[in-house]
Amino acid sequence: MLPIVALVGRPNVGKSTLFNRFLRKSRAITHDMPGVTRDRIYGECVMGDVRFDLVDTGGMVLESEATPELSKDFEDEIFEQAREAIEEADGIIFVVDGKEGLTPLDRQAAEYVRKSGKPVFMLINKVDGSEFAPQMTAEFHEMGIEQMPVSAAHGYNLHEVRDYVRRFVLDLGIPEETEEDRVEAGLKLTMLGRPNAGKSSIINAVIGRDRLIVSDVAGTTRDSIDVTFEKKGKRYTFVDTAGVRKRANIQDHLEKISVIRALKNSKRSDVTVLTIDITLGVGRQDKRLIEFLAKEKTPFIVVVNKCDLIPKSETNKALEAFRRELRVIPHVPVVMTSAQKGVGIGKLLPLAETLRRECEIRIGTGALNRALAAVLEKLQPPVVKRRRPKFYYVTQADEPIPTFVFFCNDHTLVKQSYVRYLENQFRKLLGISAAPVNIVFRSSH
């Protein structure tokens, strides 16, 4: 498990800009994707020999949108977000705006941070050059938090800041997950879903009487309990079952806190399982989760549980309704289960295996370009603004999910309908049915 560092601060101080600066390299490939805006909630950073997860509270709209009653007013909302981030984090980067100076909201936020007792340092952002540093930083000294000036937008002091962040993370003293740990765990699954949807029951039903290898990781401060077991000679791990159990026992309001944690877990697992109670249908929170998982191109399965509670004659109708909710991501498998009666449970692990196998597919450039030729032959891209998009060649990028980079004359000429056509054809030709696929364009004007 990687250390978690949270960017905390009031809106507009530049958290998202910093987030992008810190993450830049690992995300570069997605920038060419047409029509995709990313919720920048969470991402993995690499700084020299150090890896950690960075959480950007600026992008966290998920919780407040799911529960409007929580956001009584703007300040409440900010604190809710900051509080969640602080709770999840091992270390905190507190961000303030050097141009605006110290505000009452900064002081309040700093008070929260201090109370958490977690390691913290402060970035005074928007110091757009060394000549401004002494004057802009002076008033922040009184806060008694170690500080550095920076300009996220213009790059001033950024190199030093990265180096400082690197040492800050090292000093948190959280041991890195080794390659060995990763292999030991086998295929990793994260359970998402509303309380009482049946997540723990499904975990129990899946594991059944098979050999449990680890049931408790003692001494972790974050009380994350991974459950590793063996089934038919293969290893699997349910990630963070403590989170699953805890969510089952607390009311809706508190449950929002663990959304961040759940999404984060889904990032560090191979397959995410979203469980929905068939009698309740797809709720608001489920919709947001589906949207997020789709946008993040997360390999996931939807499990429609408690099918024993509706008559058999109605299951098809119910399944269709769930499929409709997933129409923008038709590749996502939907499984009907009853954890109580053991129905459908046997399908879960094989499906997860399929998803992982498809994610690991690597196809040579020769085969890809033969596929491209066939696909173009069958249907030319439509002319846009009297110009026809031209595809030169396609390669697969080295990414965790199948990512195909199409080199073309001008990607703005490629219609969304044609992107869908490309994706569907490539899926068919390459045998990728359930995994997410990323279609990326590079233009050479």
| Phi, psi (degrees; rounded to nearest 5) at 159 | -60, -45
3-state secondary structure of 108: helix
User: 336 or 419: whose CB is closer to ligand GDP?
Assistant: 336
Residue 137 in contact with ligand GDP, rule: CB under 6 A: no
Name which of residues 340 to 359 contact ligand GDP (CB under 6 A): 340
* DSSP per position, 122-172: EEEE---SGGGHHHHHGGGGGG---EEE--TTT-TTHHHHHHHHHHHHHHH
Stretch that binds ligand GDP, among 6-14, 157-165, 328-336, 352-360 (CB under 6 A): 6-14
When the beta carbons of 19 and 229 are compared against ligand GDP, the nearer one is 19
Instruction: By CB under 6 A, name the one of 264, 306, 331, 411 that touches ligand GDP.
Output: 306
* Sole binder of ligand GDP in the list 1, 3, 8, 14 (CB under 6 A): 14
Least distance from C-beta 81 to ligand GDP, angstroms? 11
Out of 254, 309, 367, 379, which residue is the one contacting ligand GDP (CB under 6 A)? Answer: 309
Cα separation of 308 and 346, whole Å? 16
Query: With CB under 6 A as the contact rule, which of the stretches 120-128, 261-269, 315-323, 401-409 interacts with ligand GDP?
Result: 120-128
43 is a site residue for ligand GDP (CB under 6 A): no
- Whole-angstrom distance, CA of residue 60 vs CA of residue 401: 24
126 binds ligand GDP, rule: CB under 6 A: yes
* Identity of the residue numbered 19: F
Q: Is 21 in the site for ligand GDP (CB under 6 A)?
A: no
Alpha-carbon span 208 to 229, nearest angstrom: 10
Which 48-77 residues touch ligand GDP, going by CB under 6 A? 58
The nearer residue to ligand GDP, 94 or 229, going by C-beta atoms, is 94
- Long-range Cβ contact pairs of 110-114 (< 8 A, separation 24 or more): 110/143, 110/145, 112/8, 112/79, 112/82, 112/83, 112/86, 113/8, 113/82, 113/86, 113/145, 114/145
Residue 151 engages ligand GDP in binding (rule: CB under 6 A): yes
Secondary-structure breakdown of the chain: helix, strand, coil percentages, each rounded to the nearest 5: 45, 20, 35
Residue from 196, 224, 354, 424 touching ligand GDP (CB under 6 A): that is: 196
Phi, psi of 211 (to 5 degrees): -70, 125
Which residue in the set 1, 4, 8, 15 belongs to the binding site for ligand GDP (CB under 6 A)? Answer: 15
Annotated binding site for GTP: 9-16, 56-60, 125-128, 193-200, 240-244, 305-308
Q: Provide the strand spans (E) within 338-444.
A: 391-396, 403-408, 438-443
H-state helical runs in 272-415: 284-295, 315-325, 348-359, 365-378
With contacts defined by CB under 6 A, how many residues of the chain interact with ligand GDP? 33
Told to check if 149 binds ligand GDP by CB under 6 A, we report: no
- Is 427 exposed, middle or buried, given 0-12, 13-18 or 19+ CB atoms closer than 10 A? middle
Q: Does 200 bind ligand GDP (CB under 6 A)?
A: yes
Residues at the interface with ligand GDP (CB under 6 A): 9, 11-17, 58, 125-126, 128, 151-154, 193, 195-201, 244, 248, 305-306, 308-309, 338-340
